[in-house]
Amino acid sequence: MGCKASEKPKVSYKRGLWSPDEDQKLRDFILKHGHGCWSSVPARAGLQRNGKSCRLRWINYLRPGLKHSDFTPEEEGIVMKLHTILGNKWSQIAMHLPGRTDNEVKNHWNTHLKKKLVKNETSSSHASMTKSLESDNQCPKLEKLIDENSSQISLTESTDSLKSVSPTPCQSIHVTNHAPFPKVLFADWLPMFSGNDQSSSASESDTVNCQLESTLNPEVLSPKLLQFDTKFTEVFLHGFEDASIYGGFKLQFEPVEQIFGFHDQADTGLELNHDMFVNL
DNA sequence: AAGACCGACAACCGCCTAGCT
DNA sequence: GAGCTAGGCGGTTGTCGGTCT
């Protein structure tokens, strides 16, 4: 890491919301040159922003392939599941949601999902169980396992230590905690459309970018991704009013490999997720 | 119509980690 | 090994638009 001192801009940085003009400058610059050293980007791109701000703007808003549509119930279900397992590891949760950023997931959780969860808690006689999942500290051994074994965790009812500590849906969770796919660096995908005519219209360019992102994200290629067990989502989104539902409720996760299609990325083909082309 | 209030989301802040010198 | 810096992440704040009174 590191950046040449000579590249560091010495300007008073602008703050606050980005204007369309600033967005365009940043987008044009990165698509043309890559970001390289972020701290040098604003000066080279003609922006009165600091590098960190540029990086955030690019990652959270300008980066190709991002969705800007509302979260689908399926996506909300995924967030709920993963939050149960991972806690506030927004970046890790976002990895499982193509086109979503950690910031977006975090905001959606804080503004929508948390409220729904609280609502469900108050409407359920089993609130304490759900609440135990909400708290990051309620499943300490799980957290420890995740931390200590970042490659994979597998929890079953035969795990005595966990059984004694947390007789919750944790028991039936089987998680592969490795990143579902490697983070896509700019350098990885920029060359793929370096031949793209820079004079192309924005829409054409965006389509290319989008297709590119889709190609690089195995999850996007896997229609199975969002075809996960909807039981959790239904219960979560609609509450526990139906005691019979809750009575038989437990997290019956498919192995995440099945949910997300991690294992066999090669057979995912090139079928593109329609959502990737929305709102770009 | 206007001010108050609230929710959603973009952006910032502070901390941590990793890499370079 | 120490110090410095960039990048990454999660928590928090600021801003804006919509709704209510």
Task: Tell me what the mean pLDDT of segment A72-84 comes to.
Answer: 86
Report the alpha-carbon distance of residue A27 to residue A21 in Å, rounded: 10
pLDDT at A2 over 70: no
pLDDT reported for residue A1: 54
pLDDT reported for residue A276: 35
Report the alpha-carbon distance of residue A209 to residue A204 in Å, rounded: 9
Q: In terms of domains, do A35 and A107 share one?
A: no
Q: In terms of domains, do A137 and A240 share one?
A: yes
- CB-based contact A98:A225 (threshold 8 Å): yes
- CB-based contact A214:A273 (threshold 8 Å): yes
Q: In terms of domains, do A259 and A233 share one?
A: yes
- Helices vs. strands in chain A: H and E counts, helices first: 16, 2
Chain B nucleotides close to protein (CB under 7 A) are 7-14, 18-21
Q: How confident is the model at residue A64 (pLDDT cuts 50, 70, 90)?
A: confident
pLDDT at A85 over 70: yes
Chain C nucleotides close to protein (CB under 7 A) are 4-12, 14-16
Of the ranges A57-71, A171-185, A194-208, A261-275, which is most confident?
A57-71
CA of A110 to C1' of B9 (A): 11
pLDDT reported for residue A51: 87
**Would you call A276 helix, strand, or coil by DSSP?**
helix
Write the pLDDT tens digit of every residue in A198-228.
333 333 344 334 333 333 343 333 333 334 4
Please check whether residue A204 lies inside any domain of the structure: no
Write the pLDDT tens digit of every residue in A102-112.
888 888 888 88
Q: How confident is the model at residue A121 (pLDDT cuts 50, 70, 90)?
A: low
pLDDT reported for residue A38: 86
Residues with CB under 7 A from strand B: A 1-2, 14-18, 49, 52-53, 56-57, 60-61, 68, 70, 103-104, 106-108, 110-112, 115
Q: Tokens standing for A86?
A: 């991972």
CA of A221 to C1' of C14 (A): 38
Please check whether residue A215 lies inside any domain of the structure: no
pLDDT reported for residue A114: 78
Range of the domain at A90: 73-181+221-277
Please check whether residue A2 lies inside any domain of the structure: no
Please check whether residue A234 lies inside any domain of the structure: yes
Q: In terms of domains, do A36 and A89 share one?
A: no
Q: In terms of domains, do A79 and A17 share one?
A: no
* Nearest nucleotide, CA A62 to C1': B10
Instruction: Name the maximum alpha-carbon separation found in chain A.
Output: 67
Q: In terms of domains, do A142 and A248 share one?
A: yes
* Nearest nucleotide, CA A110 to C1': B8
Query: A129 φ, ψ to 5°?
Result: -65, -45
Task: Tell me what the mean pLDDT of segment A78-85 comes to.
Answer: 85
Q: In terms of domains, do A151 and A89 share one?
A: yes
Q: In terms of domains, do A30 and A85 share one?
A: no
Question: Which bin fits A71, alpha (ψ -120 to 50), beta or left (φ > 0)?
Answer: beta
Please check whether residue A18 lies inside any domain of the structure: yes
* Nearest nucleotide, CA A111 to C1': B8
Q: In terms of domains, do A155 and A232 share one?
A: yes
* Nearest nucleotide, CA A36 to C1': C6
Please check whether residue A3 lies inside any domain of the structure: no
pLDDT reported for residue A180: 42
Give the position of tokens 């590249």.
Answer: A7
Please check whether residue A188 lies inside any domain of the structure: no
- CB-based contact A226:A75 (threshold 8 Å): yes
Structural domain count of chain A: 2
Q: In terms of domains, do A53 and A167 share one?
A: no
Q: How confident is the model at residue A122 (pLDDT cuts 50, 70, 90)?
A: low
Q: Which run of H or of E encompasses A153?
A: strand A153-154
Task: Tell me what the mean pLDDT of segment A190-197 comes to.
Answer: 41
* Nearest nucleotide, CA A1 to C1': B19
